[in-house]
Amino acid sequence: MNEQLQLDFDKIIKTLKISEKEIQLKKSFLKKFIENGFPNRKQEDWKFLDISQIIKKNIGELSFFNDYSLPNKIDPSIFVDGLEHNKIIFINGRIEKIDFSYEDQSQIEINDEIGKNIKFNYENSLIDLNNAFTNKVYKILIKKNYSLKKPLIIYHSTNNKIKSKNVNLSLNFGLEENSCLRLIDYFNDNTDKNFVNILYNFDLKKYSILKNYKLDKFRNNNLKYSFNNIEQDDNSISETFILSAGSDYFKNEVNCNLNGEYSSAFINGVFSLKENQQHEIRSTINHLVENTKSYQLIKSVLGKNSKSAYQGRIFVDSKAQKTDGYQLSKAILLDETSEFNAKPELEIYADDVKCSHGSASGSLNENSIFYLMSRGLNYQQSKELLINGFLLDVVEKITDSEIRNLVKNIIGLEE
Amino acid sequence: MDTREKDIEKLKDYKYGFTTDIENIKAPKGLNEDVIKFISNIKKEPQWMLDFRLKAYERLKLLKEPNWQKPKYPKIDYQDLYYYSAPKSMKDKPKSLDELDPKLLETYKKLGIPLQEQARLNGIAVDAVFDSVSVATTFKGELTKHGIIFCSMSEAIQKHPDLVKKYLGTVIPVTDHFFATLNSAVFTDGSFVYIPKGVKCPMELSTYFRINASQTGQFERTLIIADEGSYVSYLEGCTAPMRDENQLHAANVELIALDDAEIKYSTVQNWYPGDENGKGGIYNFVTKRGLCKGKNSKISWTQVETGSAITWKYPSCILKGDNSIGEFYSIAITNNHQKADTGTKMIHLGKNTKSKIISKGISAGYSDMTYRGLVDINSKAKNSSNYTQCDSLLMGNKCGAHTVPYIRNKNFDSNIAHEATTSKISEDQLHYCQQRGLNSEEAVGLIVNGFCKEVLQQLPMEFAVEAQKLVGISLEGSVG
């Protein structure tokens, strides 16, 4: 694999117009990745989802070079109906279109920031991989006091031109004071056996609001990894909703640093998994100053042979008094082959805090099914009703009503 | 000259030789095959026991010390430890308490364990362990009447080799982790309990552990077997005198419960925690594991951990038999620079198995307290359930409280519920108590005891009183 990496890396460097310094930086990331390789289950954070094995067993040899010289045809049928929105379209990892036609152009700035790689202060070889191979890194800056009129939908599509490829993409978002962004990641794949590696970095200034919805609904055989790093200043709010249902393997990571007082972070997630799927959400919330708040709710419905994992970590610094941290994960196991893993972790160094976590897992309540059946529903209907009710709880947490309805439509939930 | 004396002669040539001056017989410093052979020899062990030790030692050479735990400690030089030391008076084993070394008895008295009175008054058979070898076993007669075997491990190896051979290393195999394997190779003594079929043990069995000689790692090995339909409650309490150097304690405790049997294992651990600046103190790296082998069996762990510089242990239950039950009740208190990483593992293998975990952690001063636990419900463990509650209480903002539960549910018939909270003592509660005439320290003691109540009430009477006092004492000076 290492030869392939080096070879593909050299090809990419040739196509990029970047300075020598930036090349050196990319090289150092590649070197780091080659040293560490794909994460495997020996690493604590990857205990439940062994990417290295999954790639070996399900994808085989990956190649890392993507030819981005030719544009792909955009298929408008993938667009979300019934919701006016701005668009960024990625096809096979290539940015095909950036369209902010609903917005005041002077309030949004888009810059190419390929050289400015973001470093995280902890080891993650997939981020190194991403930094080494991304060919374009745009920074989207929302100016002071501006709220986007319409939500921004980022389409992540793949078409049959790629197979056994690693696709790396990265975006940076800056939200200036008192600005607001609603962002939907919409996954739509017509391929299988690819590995998509997404890295987002958000910088939230005072009073800004970020709402990020990741919707992975359509069934495909790809492996996906997404990492959101969110830096939050005073009074900022971030809301992340993850619908994890479509891909064969999907790991969503959210790392949230609450750097400013009165900032708050919300993470809600739904796993709805069927045959042979393995998904994971891993969240890290770092409460670093006083009066910050976080709330997490994760629910899983697990079908045959599926496996979900939730690793949630709340860290409270000794300075972060009056922290409020809450975590809850629940799972319904529908089949004897389904598996649920949880590791809700608290690491607390301040004494005046309210932190709690809870986790519960089990099968559908037979009594509830009996109740519904005695009211005239059949077994299947009762089951569906109960599952919908279980998941609706999380969807209701979406604060934006337009998007809440969209998500309900996508999942097929009715009130 | 018998073989033991020959060995002693031979080993005198070693650099450090024997230090008999402080009334102790010591094996030469360091860990190697000769030392293991020496330990085995001096205890007149049969060949199979020596093989067991050597097998463990072979394995140990391949193992690395684990380092994933939260409390880090300075590297231990295993070649700089004594692996065997016995009180001199052990050479001729005393037949009764009166024959004991008066110095020994005095030490126990200082620690508040008047052996004779306590044994008589409380109806407890005390198997006091001074350093590594049992010195007194009382109430043997009463127990023998019921066919109960309660003796030191070395005695059991001599007198009941079949039982030891059958069960030793079945719950903690020699191929286990570093410290457990180290123990298998060099363990010196410990307690052995066998409760025959259908017998309910008439009294609480108890062992007081003591660590005495400086630089002596204590490697206890305890094996408790409860045969079909039997019941036993076992108490373990520990105190240690002030020492400057860190002392390693890596004990192995194995419990085996057969069909319909129940074992209750309670620990009050109050070893030297080091001084206010975190200097000295004992490393308590213990492996405790219980196997519910038979149907309807039950194992219950209760622990009150207030001592040691570093406590790192996870008393576990393997619920193999159908309908078996595992319980874990724990209070861990850390103050000053103490560190604890403790919790439990509940591994559900059999059908209809149940487990319950109640853990209370209190940290004060500069200490760090981690609950780490695993609940694993296997795909075959139909209709199993687990309930976990772990609460932490923080006093001051220099300490830390952490919870790291691992939850694995592979069975759709089974339920797992887990909850954890972290809080501090509320001003309202303190105010209320103080209003009624308690000073702030008493008030904290009262509140903390209330916080721990669920666990304290699991302890046998005599222990509960002691433990309650201990909870108060451990937190002295942490308020205000």
Asked if B289 contacts B319 with a C-beta cutoff of 8 angstroms, the reply is no
Q: Which residues pair with A249 in a beta bridge?
A: A223, A278
B407:A342 CB<8 A: yes
| Last residue in a domain, options A260, A275, A299 | A260
Residue B421: its chain A contacts at CB < 8 A? 355-356
Same domain, A126 and A246: yes
B402:A362 CB<8 A: no
Residue A97 forms part of a structural domain: yes
Give me the half-sphere count of Cα atoms (radius 13 Å) on the Cβ side of residue A199: 24
pLDDT tens digits, one per residue of B148-193:
888 888 888 999 999 999 999 999 998 889 999 999 998 888 888 9
Which of B379, B410, B422 faces A346 most closely, judged by CB atoms?
B422
Question: Hey, is the C-beta of B66 within 8 angstroms of any chain A C-beta?
Answer: no
Which of B397, B407, B418 faces A318 most closely, judged by CB atoms?
B397
Residue A311 forms part of a structural domain: no
Query: Hey, which residues 400-429 in chain B have their CB within 8 Å of chain A?
Result: 400-424
Q: Which residues of chain A have pLDDT under 70?
A: 114-122, 414-415
Asked if B321 contacts B297 with a C-beta cutoff of 8 angstroms, the reply is yes
pLDDT, residue B290, reads 95
pLDDT, residue B2, reads 55
Same domain, A244 and A380: no
Confidence grade of residue B24 (pLDDT, cut at 50, 70, 90)? low
Residue A340 forms part of a structural domain: no
Residue A161 forms part of a structural domain: yes
Q: At what angle do helices A2-15 and A20-36 cross, to 10 degrees?
A: 160
Burial label for A56, CB within 10 Å (0-12, 13-18, 19+), is middle
* Structural domain boundaries, residue A394: 366-415
pLDDT, residue A310, reads 94
Residue A137 forms part of a structural domain: yes
Which of A44, A340, A348 faces B409 most closely, judged by CB atoms?
A340
User: Position of tokens 């242990």?
Assistant: B313
B407:A346 CB<8 A: no
Q: Which residues pair with B24 in a beta bridge?
A: B87
Looking at every residue in chain A, the average pLDDT score rounds to: 89
Same domain, A393 and A244: no
Give me the half-sphere count of Cα atoms (radius 13 Å) on the Cβ side of residue B369: 32
pLDDT, residue B112, reads 55
pLDDT, residue B480, reads 47
Two tokens, residue B275: 């001084």
B409:A360 CB<8 A: no
Which of B379, B401, B417 faces A336 most closely, judged by CB atoms?
B379
Residue A318: its chain B contacts at CB < 8 A? 397-398
Strands B415-424 and A354-362: antiparallel
Residue of A nearest to B374 (CA): A343
B409:A339 CB<8 A: yes
Looking at every residue in chain B, the average pLDDT score rounds to: 79
Residue A205 forms part of a structural domain: yes
Query: Hey, which residues 267-296 in chain A have their CB within 8 Å of chain B?
Result: none
pLDDT, residue A295, reads 95
Interface with chain B: mutation pick from A349, A354, A366, highest number of B CBs within 10 Å:
A349
pLDDT, residue A386, reads 92
| Last residue in a domain, options A214, A232, A260 | A260
pLDDT, residue A94, reads 87
| Last residue in a domain, options A260, A280, A313 | A260
For range B362-377, the mean pLDDT: 91
Residue A317: its chain B contacts at CB < 8 A? none
3-state secondary structure of B453: helix
Q: Which residues pair with B235 in a beta bridge?
A: B206, B266
* Total domain count, chain A: 2
Tell me the one-letter amino acid at B40: S
Two tokens, residue A206: 């005072």
Distance of residue B41 Cα from the nearest chain A Cα, in angstroms: 41
Q: At what angle do helices B178-186 and B33-42 cross, to 10 degrees?
A: 50
- pLDDT of residue B92 exceeding 60: no
Rounded distance, CA A251 to CA A294, Å? Answer: 21
pLDDT, residue A117, reads 57
Residue of B nearest to A332 (CA): B412
pLDDT, residue A20, reads 82
- pLDDT of residue B108 exceeding 60: no
pLDDT, residue A121, reads 61
3-state secondary structure of B254: strand
Residue A41 forms part of a structural domain: yes
Same domain, A49 and A176: yes
Above pLDDT 70, what percent of chain B?
77
Residue B399: its chain A contacts at CB < 8 A? 349, 351
- pTM, whole model, 2 decimals? 0.84
Residue A343: its chain B contacts at CB < 8 A? 404-407
Interface with chain B: mutation pick from A43, A318, A361, A364, highest number of B CBs within 10 Å:
A361
Looking at B178-222, list the stretches that DSSP marks H as alpha helix, in order from N- to C-terminal side: 178-186
The interface predicted TM-score of the complex, written ipTM, equals: 0.84
Residue A204 forms part of a structural domain: yes
Rounded distance, CA B381 to CA B359, Å? Answer: 24
pLDDT tens digits, one per residue of A150-192:
999 999 988 888 888 889 988 999 999 999 999 999 998 888 8
pLDDT tens digits, one per residue of B372-412:
999 999 989 999 999 999 899 888 888 899 999 999 999 88
Confidence grade of residue B215 (pLDDT, cut at 50, 70, 90)? very low
3-state secondary structure of A254: strand
Confidence grade of residue B357 (pLDDT, cut at 50, 70, 90)? very high
Of residues A295 and B101, the one with the higher pLDDT is: A295
Question: Hey, is the C-beta of A413 within 8 angstroms of any chain B C-beta?
Answer: no
C-alpha dihedral, A366 to A369 to A371 to A376, nearest 10°: -150
Which of B398, B406, B413 faces A318 most closely, judged by CB atoms?
B398
Distance of residue A381 Cα from the nearest chain B Cα, in angstroms: 20
